[in-house]
Amino acid sequence: MARRPTVSALDNLDDHQRAAASALRGPVCVLAGAGTGKTRVITHRIAHGVDTGAYSPGRVMAVTFTAKAAGEMRGRLRALGIDGVAARTFHAAALAQLNYFWPSLTGDGAPALVSNKVKLLAHAADGIGLSPDTPTLRDVASAIEWRKITMRSVDAFVAARPSGIGRLDVQQVADLQRAYEKLKDERRQMDFEDVLLTCAGMLEAEPRVTQEVREQYRHFTVDEFQDVSPLQYRLLQLWLGDRRDLCVVGDASQTIYSFAGADARYLLDFPRTHEDAQLFRLETNYRSAAPVLEVANALMRGRPGALELVPARPGGAAPTPVVRAFEDDEAEAAAVARSIADAIAGGVEPSAIAVLYRSHAQSAALLAALAAAGVATTVLGGRRFFDQPEVRQAVLALRAASVAPIETDFVTTVRDVLRSLGLTDEPPPAGGALRDSWEARAAILRLAENAEPGTSLRAFTDGLVARAKDQHEPTTRTVTLATLHAAKGLEWDHVHLVGLSEGLLPISYATSFEDIDEERRLAYVGITRAGRTLSVSWSRGRGRMARNPSRFLQEIGTRSLRAADAPATRGSVRPRADVRSARESPSGW
């Protein structure tokens, strides 16, 4: 049932956002640059459709690429008074359909999901007399994923990738993939990619199922459409049939999963492949200061589908982004840690700061330097907040306390429960498991302290459970460390982008034009995470580890990125007239 609108879902949108949110019918393509409010447009468009009677919530499917993004979308829709919309990942939607229809088609439940693909591959390798090491098995697992999402057979995979993996030649890789598929079938299991393949196959083979699915879902919205793979696109076509109510939203400049089958051409070609498609461009950026956007625009200028980001608040006192060079990784990490420690001492919230890098291996020196500087950190990509044992323990203890009569206010009860579990007034030293546990418990206490007046302990604990389901994690007062891939979709006021050297960004194995372009887009994602300040750095290294500055620094140029210390003289990047030595360069932002 449509909610009774009191405030229009089109209120508080800018003109471009409102135009996109008002387009409720037919194929719609929204090219949305970083920080331009794409999730806001998606959710307000759905709310507007429900308000006007154009959509029934239960007939809408909003598809995105991560469970966290889907949870955020559901939360925003609830805040707009909309319940019942299926906001899911491709895999979650496909798995729900398989579990629903499989028993009626086969008389049995759907196959179980493979819990560990690498372990299953190891068993398959044993069965055919192969003994690859774990890194090789991981690479074979990635190859299987790529083969399936690009809808290739094993033979077609060999034709597309005729080289071996590790010590396995191409024929052994093919034999191992076939053995893996055979063992998986014998165990009656599906892997993650099989979920999409099997759902697509079911829809193609069973007209009754296809009709029922298309009757259920009439209106589709797909977020991050630049990341759609051929298999996901095929499944979307099967869901749609010959209907036209499809809205896609994306940014070709943030295509960073081509290695996993993502194909931005589905987004860029959408107006051509969908007759009478309405096209909207969102280029007003509400996240970043003008100097940061100048760097981002300079890096992507002239690339296919690139948008020219315009600051919503031009001018201001935001400093020009700076690039600094250091002798080695340790010196770079130490300087970044000093800058962060100084900023926190000056009143900057740790949660407003992030250090971003290309690969996980770069985090070790940074973690050590930040711990030495007394700065607590959180590394993205680790265990989810609500999966941490201390968090689960706290939620259980709070739920138990909510059953007993409470004579004090609920915040006092939350504080007492958390103290009984180990929360102290002063945090332990940074850099260890004790500090990580303390930060997690402190985050729960801050949620209680910031709750609406009149909130009960039971309502608070119910809210924690809902947050866990939607992966709506609270903010910890820690500095975030993350790879560029993990940072996508997030934002911080202050960003340190480290390792801007050849071999790190772009990564050493990026050799083709397409590979380098993907690395450029990764750098762009890192830059556009920054709200107010951006600091870029690289290290020269020594001996065989000697590095040149990244070619991306030259592409950006000195008009938008100020050099604070002398870059190396090797390679194609020449020393600039305005540079100073690292010892003379400022240690602040």
Q: For residue 534, give both structure tokens.
A: 């951006």
Residue 361 confidence (pLDDT): 84
Residue 166 confidence (pLDDT): 85
Residue 565 confidence (pLDDT): 53
Rounded Cα distance, 429 and 372, in Å: 10
Residue 564 confidence (pLDDT): 65
Residue 434 confidence (pLDDT): 81
Residue 407 confidence (pLDDT): 65
pTM: 0.83
Rounded Cα distance, 298 and 321, in Å: 13
Residue 71 confidence (pLDDT): 87
Rounded Cα distance, 358 and 376, in Å: 21
Rg, C-alpha atoms of the chain? 25
Residue 275 confidence (pLDDT): 85
Residue 582 confidence (pLDDT): 29
Question: What is the full per-residue pLDDT of the chain (589 aa) written as tens digits?
Answer: 445 455 688 888 999 999 999 999 989 999 999 999 999 999 999 999 999 999 999 999 999 988 888 988 998 998 899 999 999 999 999 999 999 999 999 888 889 999 899 999 999 999 999 999 888 899 999 999 999 999 999 999 999 888 888 889 999 999 999 999 999 999 999 999 999 999 999 999 999 999 999 999 999 999 999 999 999 999 999 999 988 999 999 999 999 998 888 899 999 999 999 989 999 999 999 999 999 999 999 999 989 889 999 999 766 678 889 899 998 889 999 999 999 999 999 999 999 999 999 988 888 889 889 988 999 888 887 667 788 888 888 888 888 888 776 667 888 888 889 999 888 888 888 777 788 888 888 888 888 888 888 888 888 888 888 888 767 777 788 899 999 999 998 999 999 999 999 989 998 888 889 999 999 999 999 999 999 999 999 998 777 778 899 999 988 876 667 766 544 333 333 333 232 222 223 322 2
SS3 31: strand
Binding-site members for ATP are: 32-39
Instruction: Indicate left, alpha or beta for 199 from its phi (over 0: left) and psi (-120 to 50: alpha).
Output: alpha
Buried b / exposed e over 498-511, threshold 16 CB at 10 Å, is bbbbbbbbbbeebe
Binding-site members are: 32-39
**Cβ-based neighbour number of residue 379 at 10 Å:** 18
Q: From residue 201, how far is each of 94, 220, 274, 424 by CA, in Å?
A: 11, 20, 24, 55
Residue 518 confidence (pLDDT): 93
Burial of 434 (0-12, 13-18, 19+ CB in 10 A): middle
CB 424 within 8 A of CB 415: no
